[in-house]
Amino acid sequence: MLHIWMERNVLFYGMIGAGILGILCMFMVDRFYGRAIRDVRRITEPKGKWTKEFLNQYQMRLTKEQEINNPEAFVRTQLARGKTLGIGIQKWKQGIGYSAVLCFLLILTAVYGTYRYEQAQLLRYEYVLTGAGIFALLLLMKQFMGFMNKEDMILDGLLDYMENTLPARKPVPDEQALKEQTREELIDKVTEGIRQTAASETKFSHMLTPEEEHIMREVIREYLI
Protein backbone atom coordinates (compact mmCIF):
# COMPACT_ATOMS: atom_id res chain seq x y z
CA MET A 1 0.00 0.00 0.00
CA LEU A 2 2.76 2.46 0.92
CA HIS A 3 4.60 1.66 -2.29
CA ILE A 4 1.47 2.46 -4.32
CA TRP A 5 1.02 5.73 -2.45
CA MET A 6 4.58 6.73 -3.21
CA GLU A 7 4.25 5.85 -6.86
CA ARG A 8 1.13 8.00 -7.11
CA ASN A 9 2.65 10.84 -5.08
CA VAL A 10 -0.05 10.52 -2.43
CA LEU A 11 2.40 11.56 0.29
CA PHE A 12 3.33 14.71 -1.63
CA TYR A 13 -0.33 15.60 -2.06
CA GLY A 14 -0.94 14.80 1.59
CA MET A 15 1.75 17.25 2.70
CA ILE A 16 0.36 19.96 0.46
CA GLY A 17 -3.17 19.23 1.67
CA ALA A 18 -2.04 19.43 5.31
CA GLY A 19 -0.41 22.77 4.59
CA ILE A 20 -3.54 24.15 2.93
CA LEU A 21 -5.70 22.91 5.81
CA GLY A 22 -3.41 24.55 8.36
CA ILE A 23 -3.43 27.87 6.49
CA LEU A 24 -7.22 27.73 6.22
CA CYS A 25 -7.51 27.20 9.98
CA MET A 26 -5.19 30.16 10.59
CA PHE A 27 -7.29 32.45 8.43
CA MET A 28 -10.45 31.39 10.26
CA VAL A 29 -8.86 32.16 13.63
CA ASP A 30 -7.51 35.46 12.33
CA ARG A 31 -10.92 36.33 10.91
CA PHE A 32 -12.56 35.83 14.30
CA TYR A 33 -9.94 37.86 16.17
CA GLY A 34 -10.02 40.65 13.60
CA ARG A 35 -13.79 41.00 13.87
CA ALA A 36 -13.66 40.93 17.67
CA ILE A 37 -10.96 43.64 17.75
CA ARG A 38 -13.05 45.88 15.49
CA ASP A 39 -16.05 45.36 17.76
CA VAL A 40 -14.01 46.20 20.86
CA ARG A 41 -13.08 49.53 19.29
CA ARG A 42 -16.77 50.31 18.75
CA ILE A 43 -18.06 48.45 21.79
CA THR A 44 -21.33 50.39 21.89
CA GLU A 45 -22.24 49.27 18.35
CA PRO A 46 -20.83 45.78 17.83
CA LYS A 47 -21.52 43.90 14.61
CA GLY A 48 -20.02 40.51 15.39
CA LYS A 49 -22.22 37.77 16.81
CA TRP A 50 -19.73 36.78 19.48
CA THR A 51 -19.33 40.32 20.80
CA LYS A 52 -23.10 40.75 21.00
CA GLU A 53 -23.43 37.49 22.92
CA PHE A 54 -20.63 38.53 25.27
CA LEU A 55 -22.30 41.86 26.03
CA ASN A 56 -25.64 40.10 26.58
CA GLN A 57 -24.04 37.69 29.05
CA TYR A 58 -22.33 40.55 30.84
CA GLN A 59 -25.48 42.69 31.04
CA MET A 60 -27.43 39.67 32.30
CA ARG A 61 -24.91 39.28 35.12
CA LEU A 62 -25.29 42.94 36.02
CA THR A 63 -29.09 42.75 35.91
CA LYS A 64 -29.14 39.74 38.22
CA GLU A 65 -26.49 41.40 40.42
CA GLN A 66 -24.22 38.38 40.02
CA GLU A 67 -20.73 39.43 41.02
CA ILE A 68 -17.89 38.60 38.60
CA ASN A 69 -15.05 37.71 40.94
CA ASN A 70 -12.48 37.20 38.18
CA PRO A 71 -13.21 39.39 35.12
CA GLU A 72 -10.20 38.08 33.19
CA ALA A 73 -11.30 34.46 33.60
CA PHE A 74 -14.83 35.47 32.59
CA VAL A 75 -13.59 37.09 29.36
CA ARG A 76 -11.29 34.18 28.52
CA THR A 77 -14.10 31.69 29.06
CA GLN A 78 -16.38 33.61 26.72
CA LEU A 79 -13.55 34.00 24.22
CA ALA A 80 -13.01 30.24 24.14
CA ARG A 81 -16.67 29.86 23.11
CA GLY A 82 -16.23 31.98 20.01
CA LYS A 83 -17.12 30.43 16.64
CA THR A 84 -16.36 30.97 12.98
CA LEU A 85 -18.57 29.33 10.35
CA GLY A 86 -20.25 27.40 13.15
CA ILE A 87 -17.00 25.81 14.34
CA GLY A 88 -15.49 26.74 17.70
CA ILE A 89 -12.37 28.88 17.64
CA GLN A 90 -10.56 26.27 19.74
CA LYS A 91 -11.26 23.66 17.05
CA TRP A 92 -9.72 25.92 14.42
CA LYS A 93 -6.65 26.36 16.60
CA GLN A 94 -6.37 22.61 17.07
CA GLY A 95 -6.63 22.23 13.30
CA ILE A 96 -3.43 24.25 12.90
CA GLY A 97 -1.55 21.95 15.25
CA TYR A 98 -3.00 18.79 13.71
CA SER A 99 -1.97 19.96 10.24
CA ALA A 100 1.62 20.51 11.35
CA VAL A 101 1.74 17.11 13.06
CA LEU A 102 0.24 15.40 10.01
CA CYS A 103 2.83 17.00 7.77
CA PHE A 104 5.62 15.82 10.06
CA LEU A 105 4.25 12.26 10.11
CA LEU A 106 4.04 12.23 6.31
CA ILE A 107 7.70 13.24 6.15
CA LEU A 108 8.67 10.31 8.37
CA THR A 109 6.50 7.94 6.34
CA ALA A 110 8.02 9.14 3.07
CA VAL A 111 11.58 8.79 4.36
CA TYR A 112 10.82 5.32 5.64
CA GLY A 113 9.33 4.40 2.26
CA THR A 114 12.40 5.55 0.34
CA TYR A 115 14.58 3.29 2.49
CA ARG A 116 12.09 0.43 2.50
CA TYR A 117 11.76 0.31 -1.28
CA GLU A 118 15.32 1.46 -2.02
CA GLN A 119 14.29 4.51 -3.98
CA ALA A 120 16.60 7.27 -5.15
CA GLN A 121 18.18 9.51 -2.56
CA LEU A 122 17.07 12.55 -4.55
CA LEU A 123 13.43 11.54 -4.05
CA ARG A 124 14.05 11.29 -0.32
CA TYR A 125 15.41 14.84 -0.30
CA GLU A 126 12.40 16.04 -2.23
CA TYR A 127 10.06 14.59 0.38
CA VAL A 128 12.06 16.06 3.26
CA LEU A 129 12.39 19.51 1.69
CA THR A 130 8.73 19.66 0.71
CA GLY A 131 7.45 18.52 4.09
CA ALA A 132 9.89 20.60 6.10
CA GLY A 133 9.08 23.67 4.01
CA ILE A 134 5.34 23.28 4.61
CA PHE A 135 5.90 22.57 8.31
CA ALA A 136 8.09 25.67 8.68
CA LEU A 137 5.58 27.76 6.72
CA LEU A 138 2.79 26.83 9.14
CA LEU A 139 4.90 27.75 12.16
CA LEU A 140 6.07 31.05 10.67
CA MET A 141 2.58 32.08 9.58
CA LYS A 142 1.16 31.32 13.00
CA GLN A 143 3.90 33.44 14.57
CA PHE A 144 3.45 36.21 12.00
CA MET A 145 -0.30 36.47 12.57
CA GLY A 146 0.29 37.08 16.28
CA PHE A 147 -2.75 35.34 17.70
CA MET A 148 -1.55 35.83 21.28
CA ASN A 149 -1.17 39.59 20.81
CA LYS A 150 -4.62 39.86 19.23
CA GLU A 151 -6.16 37.85 22.04
CA ASP A 152 -4.51 40.19 24.57
CA MET A 153 -5.91 43.22 22.71
CA ILE A 154 -9.43 41.79 22.95
CA LEU A 155 -8.91 40.90 26.60
CA ASP A 156 -7.60 44.35 27.54
CA GLY A 157 -10.36 46.14 25.67
CA LEU A 158 -13.16 44.14 27.27
CA LEU A 159 -11.62 44.38 30.74
CA ASP A 160 -11.48 48.17 30.37
CA TYR A 161 -15.11 48.18 29.31
CA MET A 162 -16.12 46.06 32.29
CA GLU A 163 -14.12 48.20 34.68
CA ASN A 164 -15.85 51.35 33.44
CA THR A 165 -19.35 49.86 33.59
CA LEU A 166 -19.24 47.85 36.82
CA PRO A 167 -21.38 49.42 39.57
CA ALA A 168 -19.51 50.71 42.58
CA ARG A 169 -19.15 48.06 45.22
CA LYS A 170 -20.63 48.67 48.62
CA PRO A 171 -17.89 48.99 51.23
CA VAL A 172 -17.53 45.85 53.28
CA PRO A 173 -17.37 46.69 57.00
CA ASP A 174 -14.19 45.69 58.73
CA GLU A 175 -15.07 42.74 60.96
CA GLN A 176 -12.41 43.60 63.52
CA ALA A 177 -13.49 47.24 63.68
CA LEU A 178 -17.10 46.13 64.04
CA LYS A 179 -16.22 43.86 66.95
CA GLU A 180 -14.24 46.65 68.61
CA GLN A 181 -17.14 49.06 68.20
CA THR A 182 -19.56 46.54 69.71
CA ARG A 183 -17.19 45.93 72.62
CA GLU A 184 -16.86 49.67 73.33
CA GLU A 185 -20.63 50.09 73.24
CA LEU A 186 -21.01 47.23 75.72
CA ILE A 187 -18.36 48.76 77.99
CA ASP A 188 -20.17 52.09 77.89
CA LYS A 189 -23.44 50.43 78.85
CA VAL A 190 -21.88 48.52 81.76
CA THR A 191 -20.03 51.62 82.98
CA GLU A 192 -23.18 53.70 82.76
CA GLY A 193 -25.11 51.07 84.73
CA ILE A 194 -22.47 51.04 87.48
CA ARG A 195 -22.40 54.84 87.56
CA GLN A 196 -26.18 55.00 87.96
CA THR A 197 -26.06 52.38 90.70
CA ALA A 198 -23.31 54.27 92.51
CA ALA A 199 -25.20 57.53 92.24
CA SER A 200 -28.34 55.97 93.72
CA GLU A 201 -26.48 54.75 96.82
CA THR A 202 -25.32 57.44 99.22
CA LYS A 203 -22.31 55.52 100.45
CA PHE A 204 -21.12 55.01 96.81
CA SER A 205 -21.96 58.50 95.60
CA HIS A 206 -18.29 59.59 95.49
CA MET A 207 -16.87 56.19 94.51
CA LEU A 208 -16.18 56.67 90.80
CA THR A 209 -13.43 59.20 90.26
CA PRO A 210 -12.16 59.60 86.67
CA GLU A 211 -9.12 57.46 87.45
CA GLU A 212 -11.26 54.74 89.01
CA GLU A 213 -13.67 54.84 86.09
CA HIS A 214 -10.75 54.39 83.70
CA ILE A 215 -9.51 51.40 85.69
CA MET A 216 -13.00 49.92 85.74
CA ARG A 217 -13.33 50.26 81.96
CA GLU A 218 -10.00 48.50 81.46
CA VAL A 219 -11.09 45.66 83.75
CA ILE A 220 -14.35 45.28 81.83
CA ARG A 221 -12.48 45.33 78.51
CA GLU A 222 -10.10 42.60 79.66
CA TYR A 223 -13.06 40.52 80.81
CA LEU A 224 -14.82 40.87 77.44
CA ILE A 225 -11.70 39.88 75.52
C-alpha to C-alpha distance for 9 and 119, rounded to whole angstroms: 13
* Residue 154: exposure state from Cβ atoms within 10 A (0-12, 13-18, ≥19): buried
* Residue 19: exposure state from Cβ atoms within 10 A (0-12, 13-18, ≥19): buried
User: In this predicted structure, what is the pLDDT of residue 164?
Assistant: 81
Query: pTM for the full model?
Result: 0.67
Torsion sign over Cα 55, 56, 59, 60: negative
- How many CB atoms within 10 Å of residue 136? 12
Instruction: Determine the residue type at 45.
Output: E
The residue among 122 and 29 whose pLDDT is bigger is 29
Q: pLDDT tens, 119-128?
A: 778 888 888 9
* Residue 121: exposure state from Cβ atoms within 10 A (0-12, 13-18, ≥19): exposed
Per-residue pLDDT band at 23 (split at 50, 70, 90)? very high
- How many CB atoms within 10 Å of residue 203? 7
Average pLDDT score over the chain: 80
Beta bridge partners of 83: 88
C-alpha to C-alpha distance for 26 and 138, rounded to whole angstroms: 9
Catalogue the long-range contacts made by 122-128 (C-beta closer than 8 Å, 24 or more residues apart): 127/11, 127/12, 127/15
CB 217 within 8 A of CB 176: no
Q: pLDDT tens, 158-194?
A: 988 888 876 545 555 556 655 666 767 766 666 666 6
DSSP secondary structure string for all residues of 32-46: HHHHHHHHHHTTTS-
